[in-house]
A and B are shown apart, each in its own frame.
Chain A
Amino acid sequence: MLVVGGLTGVATASIPCNDSYTAGRAALFERSLSGLRDAYFDFNEAMGSPTCASNNNLVFLHALSRTAMLFIDDSNLALANSFIDIANGFGVTIVGDYFTELDLSVPRPGGCYAIPSGAPNADEIYLRIQNSIIPEINSIIAELSTIKDSASKRFLISFLPGETGLDKTIKVDYSEVLILKGLLLALRSQLEFKQAYDLTVDLNDPNVQDAINHVFCSAGTLPNATVNNWLDRYPLLLTVLPGGNAVLAQSKKDMIDAINYYFAVVKYIQSIKAPQEDHLIYIDPNAKPAVDLVGNRLTALRDSLKKGTAGKYPVETENRYKVRKGSKVVGDLVLVYDITGFSGDGGTLTLSGSVAPTPWEVDHFDGTGADFEIDLEYYSDSEQREGWFEGTLSKDGKKITNGTLEYWGYWAGTSHDTQTVSGLNVQLSKTQTTYKRLDLNPVFGGLKKRYIVPVNPRDLLPRFDNNNQVVPGTVGYGLGNDATLGGILPDTNQLDWTDRLSKGAGPRR
């Protein structure tokens, strides 16, 4: 890559900035890693010309390509240490060039991943992020902040089909500038968050490789590597580093700012009255319920962080419906929506015996568009049935019309071919929402009265037995078995944790 970069540099050294700008735009849409790297090179060269450096379009594309280079710069073109450089240190490389064929190559010399000698330790990774990646993020954000947009002079870039390979012209406006800034702030917040903690593990410790073999390759036993042993071996692991309080405070501020950028993006897009179907990113007017729902969740999170109080979130909504066939009520449907508000994995369908066998358990349902689908089943020693209900969801979400239930399987002592019940209509009769509080302030600390000092993630862990199973009643062990995790989940007790942990993995999709 150094050679390629060098050759490219020689070839384009005398090209005027406008030509570099044009070449960069073309390279940007090659849909390949090398194309992105070339685009960065070209835009960077164009930025070197005083006549071009004030061009808003070039500034944005330069910042965009710099953002990509945070992840894929393998030749120190944009920064000394990118994420791929860090991954390379662990022997992980990207295979392929075009986006559609990219894959990761992980060294498996003995059939399982082995940490190569010379892999960077936690301190080295910390320094690379601190000295290279975060300053580059800061610089990109500053660059984006120079882009101006006003009602009288809109920031707008049009990419022509000849550049993109698409059928139609694509437009980029100031909302994309806001999106990129918001994403960079969110990334910086995440990096700072990790930088605040002691993550030091001796990579030459043979127990590290044993743990990898055990966890990722189901190989070997871990007599010396129970979680408890690990914690005892590294007494500072997952504690806040000296100076970490200030880093966490900055991480919290960046998270709040990133959320505010999300709202600025939505506001900007919705302020434009003209159709935006030709924009790189826009909001479908029909997506208002989803936008409102995400906005509500983010508002609760942001306000919780800003005010230092717990946020309240609707974790579960149980909707009860009457099922009719014609005018006659033939059953009840209960759907338990998860926190997304659009789908869920719980509920029941009970129908009168003349309509279909009953009861049914809801395995999964999804109603993100007009099509509403319910995956149903009933599974016992003597009966195994499966059903599929689909219908049309009304815009207000209160009715499902033209419903059809297909079911099949074994019941009443015999196997059945597919049976179909059509003409079902479903009407919402009752809704009940369960709220839970979440407070991330203990994680960040820095408040004046409560949560002055951040909690250590280490203290949130439970105790584990010699089989690495959680000892019931010990969640939040380092905080005296505080099931609320220092106030992060104020409504949670040890029984909740026991129940949750005994359920194991979540839903299958």
Chain B
Amino acid sequence: MKNLRYRRYVLLAVLALIDAAGVVICVSNSSVEPYLNRYQSQVLAKFLPENQLNGFAYYRYDPNTNRLCFAASAGMLRAENAPLGIFKTAAARTVKIKDLQLHFSEPSGSPAVAALQSSFLPTAPAAGKNGLQGILSQLADARGHRGIDSGHWGIDMDLSNPREVTIDDFDCEIFDENDLRLRVQSSRAIVNSDWPMVTLRGHVTITCADGSTLESNYVKWDTKKQNFAVDGTYFLRRGESRIAGRGIRVDSNLNIMDSKNAKK
């Protein structure tokens, strides 16, 4: 009995360390592997703050080639009641994520990865569901199956009716095979149910396959049409060309679609 209690304390200490260091979830193919048993998840719940996950990493491999095709990691994920003017409401949630890094590596012509990629970005709202639920269902997978009876570990996190996801320090890379196709980085990213826009704020840097970059403080990313729009100041580098101006819209290869006031 004494030995069992001792082991329990050791387990509690280990779990606390896991929480402090960031929970790592291993996923193979499309299924979540049981990582902690029912008892452990009950213990874990006592250590983790409600509606908060202090870090996770999530991997998915191509079942045929066993190559990494998707990875997501974050320093913190917290779900809160959504603001409603100066009020708040428990009927909708806003999700805050810190240090979100997304990595998509798409083997040529892989529809599965394309589907995964599209499901992580805001999607067209379907009946009764908003465009954020694609993102959050991925994160819900990442945190394990809800509820301790599933045999998987569980965390008490309410992600129902999400209205907005705000990300501090956002970094999204999309690769073709081993070649970078697109990278989007920003201090803030705001994804809300007004599909298909992602609002990027604070030193937004967009890099495409040929190394061209677009920098600005405020960019609207249309994830449906795959273009980026800047109302304010921007800096665009394409090879030796340097363009600065106010107001521009570019495609995902940073080709100019519209520009208002550009200077070379």
CB–CB B125/A98 < 8 A = yes
- Given A388-B187, A508-B231, A379-B88 contact (CB < 8 Å): no
Range class of the B interface residue count: 35 or more
Bound CA span A445–B234, Å = 50
CB–CB A410/B160 < 8 A = no
Residue of A nearest to B161 (CB): A166
Bound CA span A155–B202, Å = 46
Bound CA span A508–B217, Å = 13
Interface residues of A in 467-509 (CB under 8 A from B): 508-509
A127 proximal to B (CB < 8 A): no
Bound CA span A32–B127, Å = 9
A433 proximal to B (CB < 8 A): no
Interface residues of B in 77-96 (CB under 8 A from A): 81, 84, 86-91
CB–CB B86/A408 < 8 A = no
Q: Which residues of B contact A124 (CB under 8 A)?
A: none
CB–CB B89/A280 < 8 A = yes
CB–CB B202/A101 < 8 A = no
CB–CB A384/B244 < 8 A = yes
CB–CB B215/A379 < 8 A = no
A74 proximal to B (CB < 8 A): no
Interface residues of B (CB under 8 A from A): 81, 84, 86-91, 125-131, 158-161, 168, 187-188, 193, 201-203, 205, 215-218, 231-235, 237, 242, 244, 246, 263
Q: Which residues of B contact A280 (CB under 8 A)?
A: 89-91
Q: Which residues of B contact A283 (CB under 8 A)?
A: 86-88
B233's contact among A30, A31, A377, by CB below 8 Å, is which? A377
CB–CB A386/B161 < 8 A = no
Residue of A nearest to B125 (CB): A100
Q: Which residues of A contact B263 (CB under 8 A)?
A: 384
CB–CB B215/A386 < 8 A = yes
Distance (whole angstroms) from the CB of A242 to the closest CB of chain B: 38
Q: Which residues of B contact A281 (CB under 8 A)?
A: 84, 87-89
Q: From A133-141, A287-295, A322-330, give the one contacting chain B.
A: A287-295
Interface residues of A in 359-394 (CB under 8 A from B): 363-364, 371, 373, 375, 377, 379, 384, 386, 388, 390
Distance (whole angstroms) from the CB of A196 to the closest CB of chain B: 28
Bound CA span A384–B91, Å = 45
B91's contact among A32, A164, A287, A390, by CB below 8 Å, is which? A164
Residue of B nearest to A420 (CB): B203
The interface centre, meaning the residue of B90, B216, B237 with most chain A CB atoms within 10 A of its CB, is B90
Residue of A nearest to B188 (CB): A373
CB–CB A32/B128 < 8 A = yes
A-B contacts, 21 listed (Cβ < 8 Å): A100-B128, A166-B91, A170-B91, A277-B81, A280-B89, A281-B87, A282-B87, A282-B89, A283-B86, A290-B86, A364-B218, A373-B188, A373-B202, A377-B232, A379-B244, A409-B244, A410-B242, A415-B237, A418-B203, A418-B215, A508-B232
